[in-house]
Structure formats: C-alpha cells, structure tokens
Structure 1
Amino acid sequence: MVGSDAAAPGSFGVGVDKIRKRPDFLRAARALRQGTTGFHLQANPRGDGAGPTRVGFTCSKKVGNAVARNRAKRRLREVARRVLPEKGRPGWDYVLIGRAEVTASHDFEQMCRDLEWALGRVHAQA
C-alpha cells in the first residue's frame, strides 16, 4: 500500500473493529437476521451505543474448500470495509456469512448495495 491514506491491513475504517470471540458470534446469531443474494447478515445491538461498530465473517464448508472459503471471506471483508464505516451503527455487532457457490462469484457492487439494504432492514427491526 502506497500513500499516507492507506488503511492498515485488517482495518475496517474509523470506528469499526473485528469480532474475535465466539460468544460475540453466538449473540449475533440469536439476534436480527437478513438474507441477501450474496450473503446473510446477522446484527446484534449490544446496548452500549457508544462502543465501536464490530464486524465478523464466517463461511462454512458448504461454501467450498479452503481456497473458496478464503476468497469468499476476502470479498466479505472488502464489502464491509466499504459500507460499514458509513452505514454501520456504533454499539452494534454485524456478522456476514458467506453463501455456497454465490459469495465468491456474485457481482461485487451488488454485494455492497445488498449490505446497505440489509443494514437498513435490520436497523428498522430494532
């Protein structure tokens, strides 16, 4: 990465952190959900409205072998990097789940629009 504006590897923008612990993933799984063509979104308002937006990613073996799962997760990370700093809410956890045979090959710009749409739906449910 060249230039002073380049984000650090693994960063998702200002105010967006990674979910790292299994209990946080499980809480998101029991909260709000919204499916899209390219992935599923789980969203959990933590109740600490001042905390950072957090995001996690998962792809099961249904998505494919390790190469396919890693490609799908890379695409999900980039979608989150583009959309969540503006559309995500502080104090919320989001988990993006890859879909078999779709996430790795679906149109990237459409996936960004799908995430914006899904965020609007889960925020309206809250």
Structure 2
Amino acid sequence: MTNIVFLAGNIGNDPEMVNTRGGTKITDFRLATSRPKRADGKVVKGENGYTEQDTEWHRIKCFNGLAETVQKHCAKGMKVAVRGRIHYTRWTDDDDIERFSSEIIADAIDFLAWPKRDGAGNQTEDTDDIPF
C-alpha cells in the first residue's frame, strides 16, 4: 500500500523557511480545508440559507527546491493543491508525557489561485472566490 495525500485549500499563514546545519531547506505552512457541516446525516444550513462549513488545519512541510519555490511564490490566502504523504511523529516531552503529531510532507504544490493584490502589488485580505 502507498501513503498518498491530496489536499486542496487555502494557505493560512505566510510560509516560513529555515536552513538546517546540513544545508537542507525546509518550508512550513498551514493549509485550511473545508467540508460541509453535517448533523444527523444532513448538511447544516445557516440562517442565510448557505451551507455551513467545518474547517480542518493541516501542517505542510516542503524540502529543498520545493521549499524555495513555496517560500518565493506562496502567501497567506493562496489556494493551492498539495500532493504528498502523511508523516507521524512521536516524542516524550519534558514532563515525561508521550506526545504525537502529524504533518503532510509535500511532494508537489500546484497553484490554484493567486492572492488578490492592490495597485502597488501588495496582497489584500480577500482571495479569489473558488469554492472547494
């Protein structure tokens, strides 16, 4: 069996890149995905008649060339598709409590929409209206 993940959503923060002592470039960002909210097996609609959404946040990690591309071209609010794999980590904290975490190790990122920019080229808060 293969560990494959495909997520499409909005970048929730400006990507941050670090370099390891060994020269590996690593860029991290959070990705928000949404799905219709359900209760008793039915889709929940708000007072305005629109479907309510449940949002999940995913930690995305990119390495080397992809890390550089994401750092250079991605920003909060962009719509992207991420292809990669789930990675689980287990550790013991300072209080001797066993902790678990998961993240998505990205193999590819496809740009689905750019963030909107003002006349000076600065990103605005609104994004293109492409539903997922």
Between Structure 1 and Structure 2, the one with more helix by share is 1
Q: What is the TM-score of this pair, normalised by structure 1?
A: 0.26
Q: What is the TM-score of this pair, normalised by structure 2?
A: 0.25
Which of the two has higher C-alpha Rg? 2
Answer 1 or 2: higher relative contact order, Cα 8 Å, separation at least 6. Answer: 1
